[in-house]
Amino acid sequence: MKNTDISAPDYFHKVVDCQWACPAHTPVPEYIRLIAAGRYSDAYMINWKSNVFPGILGRTCDRPCEPACRRVRVEDEPVAICRLKRVAADYKDDITARLPKPAARKNGKRVALVGAGPASLTVARDLAPLGYHCVVFDGDKKAGGMIRTQIPKFRLPDSVIDEETGYILGLGVEFRGGKRIESMKALLAEGWDAVFVGSGAPRGRDLDIPGRKEAAKNIHIGIDWLSSVSFGHVSKIGKRVIVLGGGNTAMDCCRSARRLGGEDVNVVVRSGFEEMKASPWEKEDAQHEGIPIHNFLVPKAFIHDNGKLTGITFEKVKAEYDDKGRRKLVSAGLPEQHFPCDDVLVAVGQENAFPWIERDCGIEFNEWNMPKVDTRTMASSNPKVFFGGDAAFGPKNIIWAVAHGHEAAVSIDKLLNGEDITDRPLPAVELMSQKMGIHEWSYDNEIALDQRYKVPLRDKVVALKDIKAEVELGFDAKLALAEAGRCLNCDVQTVFTAQLCIECDACVDICPMDCITFTVNSEEAELRKRLNAPSHNLSQDLYVQDGLKTGRIMAKDEDVCLHCGLCAERCPTGAWDMQKFLLDMTYAGNSCRPQRRSAA
Amino acid sequence: MTYLTKPKFHHPDLPKNELGYTHRDYEGTVSTLCAGCGHDSITGAIIAACFELSIEPHRVAKISGIGCSSKTPTYFLGNSHGFNSVHGRMPSVLTGANLANRDLIYLGVSGDGDSASIGFGQFAHALRRAVNMVYIVENNGVYGLTKGQFSATADRGSKSKRGFVNTDNSIDLVAIALQLGASFVARSFSGDKQQLVPIIKAAIAHKGAAFIDIISPCVAFNNHAGSTKSFDFVREHNEAVNRLDYMSSRMPIEVTYEPGTVEVVEQHDGSKLTLRKLAADYEITDRTAALGFLQQHAAKGQIVTGLLYVEKGPQDLHAHLRTVEAPLNTLNEAELCPGQATLEAFNASLR
């Protein structure tokens, strides 16, 4: 294999699994260390810079970082990254003085942002301090978008949304609440320098089966019902409720129903329990509240008595897989099942809808009636119009919306500076030795064997009585410290300098995970077979360095390295060093200008 | 020296041996030797050998003297028996333990100070008596614990870290072991586990006095230019006579070598030593030829490594003394006090 080029920004970035998996590439281990040190405000600001909504995401993020966490491969459960983020938000001091100030001088460019959800607010956050005049439009009176309308208050209190949307609107961003944009053409005619569409995926999919029309009074579309609940338009539901669908919206629906008078609430899904779209922890939360989930049941008809819903009939199905491993649900050949109920919540998916974008205003749409959007620049085929969040590529989640927002802000900043928006500078990389003394590192390199700590919950009886009572109480400082100790500090990298190595084998002998091998070089596939420990995880790179006196190479499998630094502690010559990797993302402003410093 | 303990986590797919242990189960506590010490590599090699042989840890007794080398039994086989004895007295303690219980595997771990200076006599007699053991000398040619004086195995003409030149002649423990009748004699290098691990495995399987001289650079006091026990010097002057593959009696032998290049030596337990010859005319079972070869190469400044001598059909101390087969602690009263009639018969035999 060729020598690994550790100056390429991606190499060590990939080793930090959580950061690599995060769409916004938040430097997770860095803020976890700050939480462990009790520096909650510093931890919050790192998050705020990267993901804009730490308090919101610390309660609601889909957390792609956690399945990626190295701890999963080393033991079993990932570090509770998401809930640690909430700790930073919960225990920080007043950070308003640390936020950017509204631009002293405007640059004269005007940007319209459609929808006040996470994508638009991220764009506004990035652009407003640079002097752009950002105007956010939303049909609702308050900012937040789906964060406010669709996430139940028992998961995310309004106070957190008010605080974090407030930080952004306080940057000199103009918010025009209650002003729904009804025509893109009219908007473009107003002469904005750029338009960003972050209007989400606001349409809930319906279920067109017999009885739908007749029993319509007791059949509700999940996301619409949730936002009605959120605004207080709906405050009760029948005693027996069936929620159709297996995603996170379904979980929010059933738990909300349980709090509004639903005593016998059941979730029914077409697929198997394991294949449900909902995150495992959301399914757990629903079950914890006494909500059964019935699987492999396809709804056939709404049964009603003269327009009064009485129940639903289902066909029992089973999964069959063809040669290509594709799943097909086929009838199990059993009699239909009838579930009696008073109300139904349909949460079987969301769709985009752009009735307000005229098809002749330069924005091309594809065969699925979605705008054609560049995945890197977020640009549509109209050079002034950008998309992000669910509006760009269909329903995803908040953290993706934030990532889109950052990219769109870079594009808008470059466009309005007369630069090529496809010329996007790489992020900058900084590597810094963590050595403080012979056995001293500036991070806690002792590996904690603790298992994942559970977040304390409010008493169930109390929680189910009040739809606004937050269920999760969050880690306290002591639990947060213990959970933070589980982080392996994957951003503190093992950096090897072949010229210093005397090939004494000390690192090989001490490495608890047998990551390091000194051997003759060969192609990667062959090399992986000869390493000291099995090397099956091809998604994790081998770190290869030649230039040793014996002509061999050092090959380190990054897969399950604990970043404990014992290789560096046992190295007599300092050939191994532990160096902290910091990624400086490219955001709108100076860091995206073309004459940027080169990486590392 | 590391203050942190080695984390308990290990690679999720770590191979297990016949007993269901991983190599991590053969570790001891974390080493307190200097970072990079050759002795720690030897520890690693002993762990690998015992793991690969699927040795039950409770069947091993580790016995050592005093010195950096003699600290190392703490760092491997944490579940085995151990005895850290007086300086240079490991061979006596080992001999006594062996006589009392012949069922254990005896690992005598010593250094050049412990065996070539204060314990030189003990070293000689344990080999001479053919005690069934693996006698390992972790040889760095320097007194590390007292900050770098020449030891008895330092070569004449080699330089200390402070620039002094050694004027004394050196003791070649391998040559002495050959002369004293050790039935298995090898030399290896801490920086070459591929060579070292099979040698340790073969020595453990050998029923007789097995001696291994392992050159183990002292990174703190003897790894500089002018030293003849440094990583660089040993790598440059290493003259390996053979490459050994140890095959237990349960493993089928796959002969894939060219004829004439491989010698197979069968041991008493049915295990086989497959030696890929590197020096064409080297005769592994010829004690006097081995001595000659050793001295010719030493005169040229070369360090001969590999399995240098193995005796066919060795006998150990128990065979010579015709001792009882069972460990002494398993003998019951009837066996120990067989009665008046037996005593009289015995006395009569001596008249």
Domain ranges in chain B are 23-242+278-321
Contact present, B285 and B296 (Cβ < 8 Å): no
State how far the Cα of B232 lies from the Cα of B229, in Å rounded to an integer. Answer: 8
Share of chain A above pLDDT 90, in %: 93
CB contact under 8 A, A510 and B2: yes
Query: What is the phi/psi pair of residue A196, to 5°?
Result: -115, 130
Q: What is the pLDDT of residue B271?
A: 79
Give the distance from CA A371 to its chain's centroid.
23
Smallest Cα distance from B191 to chain A, Å = 6
Pairing of strands A133-138, A428-433: unpaired
Pairing of strands A308-321, A297-305: antiparallel
CB-based contacts of B10, cutoff 8 Å, min separation 6: A512, A513, A514, B22, B24
pLDDT confidence of B259, banded at 50, 70, 90? low
Contact present, A409 and A588 (Cβ < 8 Å): yes
**Cα dihedral A457/A459/A461/A465 (nearest 10):** -60
The Cα diameter of chain B in Å comes to: 72
| Amino acid residing at A270 | R
Contact present, A242 and A339 (Cβ < 8 Å): yes
Smallest Cα distance from A437 to chain B, Å = 12
Helix axes A81-91, A477-484, angle to 10 degrees: 140
| Amino acid residing at A428 | A
- Going from the C-alpha of B272 to that of each of A570, B246, B254, B268, B280, the distances in angstroms are 36, 6, 11, 9, 20
H or E segment and range at residue A280: helix A280-288
Residue of B nearest to A531 (CA): B14
Work out the mean pLDDT of chain B and round it to a whole number.
92
Please report the beta strands in chain B, taking only residues with DSSP state E, as ranges in sequence order: 60-64, 81-84, 105-111, 133-139, 142-143, 149-150, 184-189, 209-215, 238-240, 242-247, 262-266, 272-277, 303-310
For chain A, domain boundaries: 16-97+458-484, 101-202+352-415, 204-350
Tokens representing residue B121 in the block: 């006599």
Across the interface, of B6, B31, B191, the residue whose CB is closest to A505 is B191
Which DSSP category does B60 fall into?
A: E
Across the interface, of A504, A550, A571, the residue whose CB is closest to B41 is A504
Q: Which of A321-325, A327-331, A350-354, B305-309 has the highest mean pLDDT?
A: B305-309
State how far the Cα of B98 lies from the Cα of A132, in Å rounded to an integer. Answer: 87
Q: Which alpha helices (H) appear in A503-595, and where do they start and end?
A: 506-510, 524-529, 566-570
pLDDT at residue A419 is higher than 80: yes
> Which residues of B are less than 8 Å from A578 in CB distance?
none
Q: What is the pLDDT of residue A600?
A: 46
Class (C level, CATH) for A204-350? alpha beta
Domain A101-202+352-415 matching CATH 2.130.10.10: the answer reads no
Tokens representing residue A588 in the block: 């709108």
Q: How many CB pairs under 8 A join A and B?
A: 100
pLDDT at residue A324 is higher than 50: yes
Question: B237, B196, B231: which is closest to B213 by C-alpha?
Answer: B196
> Which residues of A are less than 8 Å from B36 in CB distance?
502, 504, 506, 570-573
> Which residues of B are less than 8 Å from A562 in CB distance?
7, 9
Tokens representing residue A314 in the block: 């289902």
Interface test with B, best of A490, A570, A578 (most B CBs within 10 A): A570
Helix axes A222-230, A248-259, angle to 10 degrees: 50
pLDDT at residue B48 is higher than 60: yes
State how far the Cα of A289 lies from the Cα of A279, in Å rounded to an integer. Answer: 16
Contact present, B240 and B273 (Cβ < 8 Å): no
Q: What is the pLDDT of residue A325?
A: 84
pLDDT at residue A410 is higher than 90: yes
Asked if A16-97+458-484 and A204-350 have one fold, the answer is no
Contact present, A166 and A183 (Cβ < 8 Å): no
Question: A350, A390, A406, A488: which is closest to A32 by C-alpha?
Answer: A488
Which positions 51-80 of A are in contact with B (Cβ < 8 Å)? 73-75
> Which residues of B are less than 8 Å from A549 in CB distance?
232, 235
Whether B225 contacts chain A with CB within 8 A: no
* SS3 at position A592: helix
* Residue range B13-23: mean pLDDT, rounded: 96
State how far the Cα of B218 lies from the Cα of B230, in Å rounded to an integer. Answer: 7
CB contact under 8 A, A566 and B11: no
Tens digit of pLDDT for each residue in A426-438?
999 999 999 998 8
Query: What is the phi/psi pair of residue B268, to 5°?
Result: -60, -30
**Cα dihedral A405/A409/A415/A419 (nearest 10):** -110
Tokens representing residue B85 in the block: 């004895």
CB contact under 8 A, B11 and A513: yes
Which DSSP category does A100 fall into?
A: P
* Residue range A18-44: mean pLDDT, rounded: 98
Give the bridge partners for A316, in sequence order.
A297
State how far the Cα of B259 lies from the Cα of A89, in Å rounded to an integer. Answer: 74
Please report the beta strands in B42-132, taking only residues with DSSP state E, as ranges in sequence order: 60-64, 81-84, 105-111
Smallest Cα distance from B2 to chain A, Å = 7
* SS3 at position A439: coil
Share of chain A above pLDDT 70, in %: 99
Burial of A335 (0-12, 13-18, 19+ CB in 10 A): exposed
H or E segment and range at residue B175: helix B173-179
State how far the Cα of A214 lies from the Cα of A301, in Å rounded to an integer. Answer: 11
Percentages of chain A per state (helix, strand, coil), in multiples of 5: 30, 20, 50
* Residue range A435-460: mean pLDDT, rounded: 93
Pairing of strands A264-268, A240-244: parallel
| Amino acid residing at A576 | W
B23-242+278-321: CATH, from 1.10.357.10, 3.40.50.970, 2.70.70.10, 3.40.50.300: 3.40.50.970
Tens digit of pLDDT for each residue in A234-256?
999 999 999 999 999 999 999 99
Count CB-CB contacts under 10 A for residue B24: 17
State how far the Cα of A221 lies from the Cα of B180, in Å rounded to an integer. Answer: 93
Helix axes B90-100, B120-128, angle to 10 degrees: 30
Contact present, B210 and B174 (Cβ < 8 Å): no
Tokens representing residue B62 in the block: 């580790």
Work out the mean pLDDT of chain A and round it to a whole number.
95
* Residue range A131-156: mean pLDDT, rounded: 96
Question: A490, A494, A359, A381: which is closest to A435 by C-alpha?
Answer: A494
Give the bridge partners for A576, in sequence order.
A496
pLDDT confidence of B81, banded at 50, 70, 90? very high
**pTM greater than 0.95:** no
Contact present, A442 and A158 (Cβ < 8 Å): no
State how far the Cα of B7 lies from the Cα of A515, in Å rounded to an integer. Answer: 14
Tokens representing residue A373 in the block: 């959007």
> Which residues of B are less than 8 Å from A503 in CB distance?
191, 231
Q: What is the pLDDT of residue B218?
A: 96
- Going from the C-alpha of A197 to that of each of A134, A404, A589, the distances in angstroms are 13, 11, 21
CB-based contacts of B43, cutoff 8 Å, min separation 6: A509, B28, B31, B72, B75, B76
Tens digit of pLDDT for each residue in A528-556?
999 999 999 999 999 999 999 999 999 99
State how far the Cα of A365 lies from the Cα of A372, in Å rounded to an integer. Answer: 5
State how far the Cα of A117 lies from the Cα of A399, in Å rounded to an integer. Answer: 12
Per mean pLDDT, which range of A108-117, A366-375, B112-121, B239-248 is the poorest? B239-248
Count CB-CB contacts under 10 A for residue A425: 17
Share of chain B above pLDDT 70, in %: 96
Tokens representing residue A87 in the block: 């700790």
pLDDT confidence of B2, banded at 50, 70, 90? low
CB-based contacts of B87, cutoff 8 Å, min separation 6: B65, B66, B67, B114, B118, B119
* Residue range A302-306: mean pLDDT, rounded: 94
CB-based contacts of A250, cutoff 8 Å, min separation 6: A222, A243, A244, A267, A269, A278, A345, A347
Smallest Cα distance from A481 to chain B, Å = 19
Structural domain A16-97+458-484, CATH architecture: Orthogonal Bundle (1.10)
The Cα diameter of chain A in Å comes to: 89
Count CB-CB contacts under 10 A for residue A470: 19
Angle at A527 between CA A521 and CA A533, to 5 degrees: 125
